[in-house]
Structure 1
Amino acid sequence: METSRRVLLKGGLVAAGVTFLPGMTGPPIDLRPTAAAVTPFDNPFSLGVASGDPSPDGFVLWTRLAQLPLDDDGLGGMGQSVREVAWQVATDPGFRRVVRRGRVRTGPAQGHSIHLEPSGLEPDRDHWYRFRLGRHLSPVGHTRTAPRPESAPAALAVAYASCAQWEHGYFTAYRRMAEDEPDLVLHLGDYMYEYDPDFEPAKTGNVRHHEGPETVTLADYRRRHAQYKTDEDLQLLHATAPWVAVFDDHEVSDNWADESPGTTTRRDGFGDRRAAALRAYWENMPLRRSAFPQGPDMKANRRFQWGRLATFHMLDTRQYRDPQACGDGMGTCEETWEPDRSILGAPQEAWVDEGLRTSTATWDVLGQQVPFGRLELSPVEIDRLSMDTWDGYPSCRDRVLDSMAQAANPVVLTGDVHDSFATEVWRDHEDPSSVAVPEIITTSVSTNGDGEDTSDGGYRYARTNPQVKFWNELRGYVNLTFTAGRLDADYRNLPYVHEPGAPVFTRASFAVEAGSPLLHQTGAQPLAGS
């Protein structure tokens, strides 16, 4: 019987300090007492390991050295020295079949982070990896290569999440995602929050606290990312499967738009702040070297394939958008309807159109940050529309919908709003027969605290949002299963996040049949006791 990744992870193979077993190949570990002099500090792999952006012949491998993650200078207690780290990739968890190895140097210029891109590996195959610095061995991570572009995979399991505010709750959802053993993890933004400690408590109060002030400098952002990376549930998910991540606003500043800071941010110095934030984001995520920021600019939108089954078009809705209309308020104004307004920018719109027009995939997936379809934010008032979402850029949305019409089975994945929604995007908001594409919106991992179960499935929103098929305020994530004939979506929710260890259950399930944009509910399970 094949051993599951869950068993391997729980069995201690990812625990820091695991040693080479007899028969393993690779650089030997120096166990002599004098070896401690090589690395005269505590565990430098306190932030774990990660992988991402898989291709048919490789992936990105990441770690960041930090013996004191919360040091004020943002360098994790590693100082100004440059160090050489050994690494290995194997096709078995015991590292008996090492297929790539090497050494890499890192130092303060990279925030002591490491980004490797091993290539020439076999497609559609599990791999394990680890790092070593002196006498210290990193946790072991699991990843995989993507299938060949011309292949037809039978299925793909994807888990995706958004919005994890440290103060508002524990990251149990990340652990439950790991236990579900996805092939791929998508993170759609708000990986960390920039706020002062206790700036915006959850309704039930904060259960833990940010260290340091509001993030403004590179040292601030490095330290905040390090604090988040110390979370064991997050480390587990990073070590379980390859990630594909895109940022939203809180990785920089709430509701920022291109050169315009958010409403709570001073305009003076925002360019430097954005540069620092994106630099720290790159340093702390499993991103390719080609994404390394150039000042305040970072290449974030990208596309990757999972054989002919699915193509993922990962969007950037922050760096190139026009400023939010109507003073970033709730409700439209004349500015909203200007035909040239864009949330993507003209070059990225053209990139999306070209990708959808030439795609040969069964499913074309837009992974992006903010609600795409029309979404009234009140169950009783009309035109309560957020100008920070695609509702503030309706002309751009129409152009992207035109592009989607050229693809076989487009679907939109969304984060941001801290609630679960299953919606059908209508071309004509007055015509229920004009369904163009399904949109699956995940709730937050922890932002806004525990949340509440809605036993009516969200039908209280039916008057203002007839396109919404499901709504719920609990925390959690979404699991997707892609096959040639169908997409299944499970809304996985937790009853609480104010303390660790919550169970997970499937609150609702939906299916999309290939060839149709309609959502069909296939299951529902109310919260126990509701």
Structure 2
Amino acid sequence: MLSKAELAAAIRQEGGMSRRLFLRWSAALAALPVVARQVEGRQQSRPRFVDAPFSLGVASGDPDESSFVIWTRLAPRPLEPQGGMPAEKIEVRWEVAEDEGMKKIVRQGTALATPQLAHAVHVVVPGLSPDRWYYYRFHSGDATSPVGRARTTPPRSSLPQRLRFAFASCQHYEQGLYTAYEHMAQDDLDLVFHLGDYIYEGPASVKGVRKHAGPAKTRLQTLEDYRIRHAQYRSDPLLHGMHARCPWVVTWDDHEFDNNYANDISEVPNTDPVEFLWRRTNAYQAYYEHMPLRPTSIPRGPDMQLYRTIHFGRLAAFQVLDTRQYRTDQPNGDRLSPLDVDALNPRNTLLGRQQRGWLLSQLLQSQATWNVLAQQVMMAMVDVDITEGKGYSMDQWPGYAYERMQLLRWIADRRISNPIVLTGDIHLHWCNELRVDDRKPEQPVVAVEFVGSSISSGGNSRPAKEQEYTESLKAQNPCVKFFNSQRGYVRCEVTPQTWQSDYVVIEDVLKPGSPAVVKGKFVVESGQPGVKAG
């Protein structure tokens, strides 16, 4: 195995972290979880807990027509190292029932919560009936978890008449409360998609409505740092309460690890590449430990397979993307820039060759009425500089404009049915019509993009002279059909005939119990590119 010292020496010799060295180092780190799983230790089938071990609640995720994942983590003291658990394997019993009272048990079994994975449990429950709601819970020792609610998806061959889901992103713990999830829990949803920035990796702030646990002067570094940050977020009763309501489908953006990182490149110049990859290994493992992901996503060192497809019968196929792990570095120093030769460089990629090939293959064989990209950064080519200059975000798809335009041209040429893009990241609500080149409004609309604001990131901050800014922004960018700067989420109702997105905003994320208001409704009709007000 290539040691840290050997890698550092090789980097000095080659004058930097080459792709060849990165792959060698990744391969070395990939062995670490395998080694960890071989650690011997005591096993307890009847542990005794002084504090309640299910403090982080329960969750389900990644459903298909016969199974879903159920998750929990034993953490009686979640903000302590290892969650206050001993370095022992603990037996956890699980049950899945047809009723909330857990009388009609249809599946049950045991799983081991190991210290190597912070005593988190990921159980894939097989052999379930399609298109059914179920209830589940866990037991360990004399402790019993809350009851969660999950569902399987309709059969792949069927055409469901309705899907109701929400998508969300960006939930900075210090900058606002999770009131949005309190309202979302009343929406009677089939699914939730979380599009990234589930945690924030920065140091604890002296400001904010509440305070991060962890380092006060540095970003998260160690595996325990990331575990404690995830546990703090998960401890919020509104967040883990919403997790218990229905299955979640998750993907990350940047703050789960490092702000605006691009593959193996930090936004901070001269970052030690060895330490950067070690930190990425820690961040990815903690993310897996706390998400209702299938074991196929268990990280291999600094690498983790996250892109995948979620089918809801033939009504909708969701291609869940990862636009961080495989991207090239942002052009133009990651500044707002014109769409110049650097932004249009054909070598720039958000997806990477393998993920892009997978995506095209999935779209080509899709039989779904609605074909959805669930992803992180805004795809619309929006000039946000309302002065006389030009300002496109190089961290979003405009910084990778060649790949973006090629993708939309491919979708248009192959007549992919009803393409929809779901986006997070930007802490703002948008509704955009997407063309191959959004600077040319005479081109036909190819897809519609719905962008959700943050759950809490940014607090109640809003642009100065917001009305004037909005009017100038829309006049300058004909692709923009709606803009709102408040916190919230997007609720969607999908039928074979129509797609409706409701933009839900929270009036004040600094005060508990703040009301929710729908500030915009937009509809796409099947077979009719473009969007209209609902």
TM-score, normalisation: structure 2: 0.87
Please give the per-residue CA displacement for 1:377-407, whole angstroms capped at 9, x wherever unaligned.
2333442111110010011102221332231
Residue 64 of structure 1, aligned match among 63, 73, 77: 73
Please give the per-residue CA displacement for 1:153-183, whole angstroms capped at 9, x wherever unaligned.
0000010001000000001111211111210
- Classify the secondary structure of the residue corresponding to 2:326: coil
Alignment partner, residue 30 of structure 1? none
Residue 277 of structure 2, aligned match among 271, 282, 287: 271
User: Do the aligned partners of residues 421 and 497 (structure 1) sit closer, same or farther apart at CA in structure 2, a change above 3 Å counting?
Assistant: same
Residue 532 of structure 2, aligned match among 515, 520, 525: 520
Q: CA deviation at 1:457?
A: 9.9
2-structure distance, mates of 1:86, 1:356: 39
Residue 230 of structure 2, aligned match among 219, 225, 228: 225
Contact 1:418 1:444 in 2 (8 A): yes
Q: CA deviation at 1:265?
A: 8.5
Residue 287 of structure 1, aligned match among 293, 298, 304: 293
- Classify the secondary structure of the residue corresponding to 2:475: coil
Q: CA deviation at 1:499?
A: 1.7
- Classify the secondary structure of the residue corresponding to 2:503: strand
Contact 2:420 2:447 in 1 (8 A): yes
1-structure distance, mates of 2:251, 2:356: 17
Alignment partner, residue 261 of structure 2? 256
Q: Would you say 1:309 and 2:315 are equivalent positions?
A: yes
Percent of counterpart pairs with the same letter?
42
Q: Would you say 1:206 and 2:229 are equivalent positions?
A: no
Q: Would you say 1:127 and 2:134 are equivalent positions?
A: yes
Contact 1:457 1:471 in 2 (8 A): no
TM-score, normalisation: structure 1: 0.88
Report the AA paired with residue 422 of structure 1.
Answer: C
Greater helix proportion: 2
Please give the per-residue CA displacement for 1:25-72, whole angstroms capped at 9, x wherever unaligned.
xxxxxxxxxxx984132100000000000010010000011011111x
Contact 2:408 2:435 in 1 (8 A): no
1-structure distance, mates of 2:47, 2:346: 62
Contact 1:357 1:403 in 2 (8 A): no
Contact 1:261 1:267 in 2 (8 A): no
1-structure distance, mates of 2:151, 2:493: 17
User: Do the aligned partners of residues 244 and 44 (structure 1) sit closer, same or farther apart at CA in structure 2, a change above 3 Å counting?
Assistant: same
Report the AA paired with residue 505 of structure 1.
Answer: V
Q: Would you say 1:39 and 2:48 are equivalent positions?
A: yes
Q: CA deviation at 1:336?
A: 1.6
Q: CA deviation at 1:431?
A: 2.6
Alignment partner, residue 457 of structure 2? 447
- Classify the secondary structure of the residue corresponding to 1:84: strand
2-structure distance, mates of 1:381, 1:116: 55
Q: CA deviation at 1:152?
A: 0.8
| Unmatched 5+ stretches in structure 2 | 1-44
2-structure distance, mates of 1:347, 1:520: 35
Residue 139 of structure 1, aligned match among 137, 140, 146: 146
- Classify the secondary structure of the residue corresponding to 1:337: coil
Q: CA deviation at 1:519?
A: 1.0
Alignment partner, residue 26 of structure 1? none
Q: CA deviation at 1:330?
A: 1.1
Report the AA paired with residue 519 of structure 2.
Answer: R
Contact 1:255 1:263 in 2 (8 A): no
User: Do the aligned partners of residues 134 and 509 (structure 1) sit closer, same or farther apart at CA in structure 2, a change above 3 Å counting?
Assistant: same
Q: CA deviation at 1:452?
A: 4.0
Contact 2:409 2:436 in 1 (8 A): no
- Classify the secondary structure of the residue corresponding to 1:336: coil
Residue 435 of structure 2, aligned match among 426, 446, 462: 426
Contact 1:457 1:472 in 2 (8 A): no
1-structure distance, mates of 2:431, 2:461: 18
Q: CA deviation at 1:425?
A: 1.1
2-structure distance, mates of 1:266, 1:457: 37
2-structure distance, mates of 1:161, 1:355: 24
Report the AA paired with residue 47 of structure 1.
Answer: L
Q: Would you say 1:99 and 2:111 are equivalent positions?
A: no
Q: Would you say 1:476 and 2:476 are equivalent positions?
A: no
2-structure distance, mates of 1:448, 1:420: 13
Q: Would you say 1:417 and 2:429 are equivalent positions?
A: no
User: Do the aligned partners of residues 61 and 457 (structure 1) sit closer, same or farther apart at CA in structure 2, a change above 3 Å counting?
Assistant: farther
- Classify the secondary structure of the residue corresponding to 2:174: helix
- Classify the secondary structure of the residue corresponding to 1:209: coil
Q: CA deviation at 1:466?
A: 1.8
Residue 506 of structure 1, aligned match among 518, 529, 532: 518
- Classify the secondary structure of the residue corresponding to 2:336: coil
Alignment partner, residue 243 of structure 1? 248
2-structure distance, mates of 1:490, 1:265: 44
2-structure distance, mates of 1:499, 1:430: 41
User: Do the aligned partners of residues 48 and 137 (structure 1) sit closer, same or farther apart at CA in structure 2, a change above 3 Å counting?
Assistant: same
- Classify the secondary structure of the residue corresponding to 1:399: helix
2-structure distance, mates of 1:186, 1:364: 15
Alignment partner, residue 31 of structure 1? none
Alignment partner, residue 63 of structure 2? 54
Alignment partner, residue 327 of structure 2? 321
2-structure distance, mates of 1:103, 1:419: 43
> How much is the aligned-residue C-alpha RMSD, in angstroms?
1.7
2-structure distance, mates of 1:424, 1:329: 24
- Classify the secondary structure of the residue corresponding to 2:102: coil
2-structure distance, mates of 1:293, 1:343: 20
2-structure distance, mates of 1:216, 1:464: 42
1:453-492 matched pairs, under 5 angstroms: 458-492=470-504
- Classify the secondary structure of the residue corresponding to 2:228: helix
1:314-393 matched pairs, under 5 angstroms: 314-332=320-338, 333-393=340-400
User: Do the aligned partners of residues 230 and 265 (structure 1) sit closer, same or farther apart at CA in structure 2, a change above 3 Å counting?
Assistant: farther
1-structure distance, mates of 2:383, 2:79: 41
Residue 161 of structure 1, aligned match among 164, 168, 186: 168
Q: CA deviation at 1:455?
A: 5.9
2-structure distance, mates of 1:121, 1:425: 39
2-structure distance, mates of 1:244, 1:206: 29
Alignment partner, residue 9 of structure 2? none
Report the AA paired with residue 206 of structure 1.
Answer: G
User: Do the aligned partners of residues 211 and 122 (structure 1) sit closer, same or farther apart at CA in structure 2, a change above 3 Å counting?
Assistant: same
Residue 493 of structure 1, aligned match among 502, 505, 518: 505
1:112-123 matched pairs, under 5 angstroms: 112-123=119-130
Q: CA deviation at 1:371?
A: 0.4
- Classify the secondary structure of the residue corresponding to 1:206: coil
User: Do the aligned partners of residues 338 and 140 (structure 1) sit closer, same or farther apart at CA in structure 2, a change above 3 Å counting?
Assistant: same
Please give the per-residue CA displacement for 1:278-309, whole angstroms capped at 9, x wherever unaligned.
10000000000000000000001001210000
Deviates more, 1:46-55 or 1:36-45: 36-45
Contact 2:162 2:495 in 1 (8 A): yes
Q: CA deviation at 1:335?
A: 2.0
- Classify the secondary structure of the residue corresponding to 2:212: coil
Contact 2:406 2:436 in 1 (8 A): no
Contact 2:54 2:73 in 1 (8 A): yes
Please give the per-residue CA displacement for 1:195-224, whole angstroms capped at 9, x wherever unaligned.
00118xxxxx51111011121111100000
Please give the per-residue CA displacement for 1:415-446, whole angstroms capped at 9, x wherever unaligned.
00000001111223343232211100000000
Contact 2:309 2:320 in 1 (8 A): yes
